[in-house]
Amino acid sequence: MSIKLFPFLLHTTAAAVMMYGYAHLPDVVANMPMANMKGGHFQFLTIQGLCIAWITMVLSIACDIIPSSRVLKSTKRAFLMSALPLAIVISVIYWTLLLLLPHLILMPDPNASEPTSSSAMPEPQRLPLSTDLALHAAPAISLIIDFYVLERKYPKSISHYGSFVLAAIVGTWYACWVEYCASYNGFFPYPFLTQNPFNVRVAIYAGASSFAALAFIAINALHP
**Cα distances (Å, whole numbers) of residue 15 to 70, 126, 131, 194:** 22, 23, 14, 32
For residue 174, is it left (φ>0), alpha (ψ between -120 and 50) or beta?
Answer: alpha
Q: What is the pLDDT of residues 9-40, one digit of tens each?
A: 999 999 999 999 999 998 887 778 888 899 99
Structural domain count of the chain: 1
Which stretches of 24-139 are assigned E, i.e. beta strand? 28-29, 32-33
Q: What is the pLDDT of residues 127-183, one digit of tens each?
A: 899 999 999 999 999 999 999 999 999 999 899 899 999 999 999 999 999 999 999
pLDDT confidence tier of residue 57, bands split at 50, 70 and 90: very high
Residue 40: domain span: 5-222
Q: What is the pLDDT of residues 167-182, one digit of tens each?
A: 999 999 999 999 999 9
Radius of gyration of the chain (CA): 18
> Cα–Cα distance between 61 and 83 in angstroms, integer?
16
Query: What amino acid is encoded at 63 in this protein?
Result: C
- pTM, to two decimals: 0.90
pLDDT confidence tier of residue 116, bands split at 50, 70 and 90: very low
Greatest distance between any 2 Cα atoms in the chain: 62
Is-contact 55 68, C-beta < 8 A? no
Comparison of pLDDT for 124 and 67, the residue scoring more? 67
Q: Which of 8, 92, 3 is nearest to 58 (CA)?
A: 8
Q: What is the pLDDT of residues 77-110, one digit of tens each?
A: 999 999 999 999 999 999 999 999 998 998 875 5
Is-contact 161 216, C-beta < 8 A? no
> Cα–Cα distance between 82 and 168 in angstroms, integer?
11
> Cα–Cα distance between 135 and 142 in angstroms, integer?
12
Would you state the pLDDT for residue 117?
41
Angle among Cα 109, 99, 102 to the nearest 5 degrees reads 25
